[in-house]
Amino acid sequence: MFEAVLVEKSGSGQARLARLDDDALPDGDVLVRVAWSTLNYKDALAVTGKGPILRSFPMVPGIDLVGVVEDSRDPAWKAGDRVLVNGYGIGESWWGGLAGKARLKGAWLLAPPSSLTARQTMAIGTAGYTAMLCVMALERCGLSPDKGDVLVTGASGGVGGIAIALLARAGYRVIASTGRLSEEAYLKSLGAAEVVDRAQFSAPGAPLQKARFSGAIDSVGSHTLANVCASLKEDGVVAACGLAQGMDLPASVAPFILRGASLIGIESVRRPMGVRVEAWSRLARELDGQKLEAMTQEIALCEAIPASARVLAGEVRGRLAVAVDPQAAG
């Protein structure tokens, strides 16, 4: 038997901590004993029923996990192997990481970087992986530190915090946008050179504004993303990876046809394995371990349900690592 956060039907307040056995798990090639998972914004929507995240019921949320193989029908994996998975629909259409065990497809798994502990791997999690995908996208568009300031919106969240740390280490001057100005010292400790109030981006704005940023990573969407695009310098680029403010984009073509701005969408769920390996390898090399620890809070599996409401209310800074069965990782 193992414990799991189980959502049994659509609607708010349906999640509960359940005890299940292996027979309850979906069919798959590899049975994994989960050591750590995370609580992301998407997970919080799934647990609370506040967003249409889950594709079927019952469902175990948790869009990423790290653990140890217990049994495998996939020749690529054997009992005792450490494995990591994020995306591929786990926690949405396939039972995910907020459970003591998971049965998964072997093709979804990769070996976590050996330099990271299991806890560090999930302190990074999907949020950090997405932040690295954003950095990689900006680099592909030719962004470099000498071109000017880079804005990070949603800076107090998981994607934002890790993006700040990665960009600052690479030599960029980072501007952090947040609704919690009380977190200024924390954001500067991660590497932000300046902290600004998100209010200047969150309301409807002019289609073309003062050119301020050479690049940006946005996890907010809606008016915020529109205003960020309008504030880009010539040939500026923004990587968009979230919708905390909304899914709409009330923007103008002006920044794109008058300044040559680029808007890149970041999709993290179904990236090819080669991209995943590159992103995780770079995270292991380039993300400062002390800064990662500073932005990480640890909770037990039984705390995931009440913590979900705090995540949606914007009361959690940085990352929530969920200790499912830490001894499983050795």
- Residues 162-210 pLDDT 10s: 999 999 999 999 999 999 999 999 999 999 999 999 999 999 999 999 9
Q: 147 and 198: one domain? A: yes
State the pLDDT at residue 14.
Answer: 76
Provide the token pair at 120: 């560090």
Provide the token pair at 12: 């708010």
- Maximum C-alpha span of the chain: 61
- The answer to whether residue 196 sits within a structural domain is yes
Which are the contacts of 237, defined by CB distance < 8 A and separation ≥ 6?
137, 138, 141, 142, 143, 214, 215, 216, 261, 262, 263, 264
Pairwise pLDDT comparison (14 vs 46), residue with the higher score: 46
State the pLDDT at residue 11.
Answer: 58
Task: Say yes or no to pLDDT of 136 above 90.
Answer: yes
Choosing from 249, 265, 281, the residue where a domain stops is: 265
Q: 254 and 179: one domain? A: yes
69 touches 77 (CB < 8 A): yes
The alpha carbon torsion through 135, 39, 225, 259 (nearest 10 deg) reads 10
Backbone angles phi, psi at 267, to 5 degrees: -110, 120
280 touches 112 (CB < 8 A): yes
- Tell me how far apart the alpha carbons of residues 119 and 172 are, in angstroms, rounded to a whole number: 28
Q: 39 and 151: one domain? A: no
List the alpha helices (DSSP H) in 25-117: 41-48
State the pLDDT at residue 324.
Answer: 98
Residue 314's pLDDT band (cuts 50, 70, 90): confident
- The answer to whether residue 305 sits within a structural domain is yes
Q: 224 and 305: one domain? A: no
Provide the token pair at 282: 């770079």
pLDDT tens column, 70-102: 999 999 999 999 999 999 999 999 999 999 999
Q: 87 and 179: one domain? A: no
- Tell me how far apart the alpha carbons of residues 172 and 250 are, in angstroms, rounded to a whole number: 29
Whichever domain contains 47, its CATH number is 3.90.180.10
Q: Which residues pair with 175 in a beta bridge?
A: 151, 194
Q: Which DSSP string do the residues of 134-195 spell out, in sequence order?
A: HHHHHHHTT--GGG--EEESSTTSHHHHHHHHHHHHTT--EEEEES-GGGHHHHHHHT-SEE
Backbone angles phi, psi at 312, to 5 degrees: -70, -30
**Other beta carbons less than 10 A from residue 208's beta carbon:** 16
Share of the chain above pLDDT 70, in %: 98
State the pLDDT at residue 52.
Answer: 86
Task: Say yes or no to pLDDT of 279 above 90.
Answer: yes
State the pLDDT at residue 191.
Answer: 98
Q: Which domain holds residue 90?
A: 2-111+295-329
What is the rounded average pLDDT for all residues in the chain? 96
Provide the token pair at 268: 């993290």
pTM: 0.96
Whichever domain contains 172, its CATH number is 3.40.50.720
Overall number of domains in the chain: 2
Query: Looking at residues 202-225, what average pLDDT do you find?
Result: 98
pLDDT tens column, 285-297: 999 999 999 999 9
Least confident interval from 45-54, 196-205, 230-239: 45-54
Q: 103 and 159: one domain? A: no
Provide the token pair at 313: 């209310």
Task: Say yes or no to pLDDT of 330 above 70.
Answer: no
- Tell me how far apart the alpha carbons of residues 251 and 167 are, in angstroms, rounded to a whole number: 26
The alpha carbon torsion through 271, 243, 51, 304 (nearest 10 deg) reads 80
pLDDT tens column, 3-21: 999 999 865 557 999 999 9
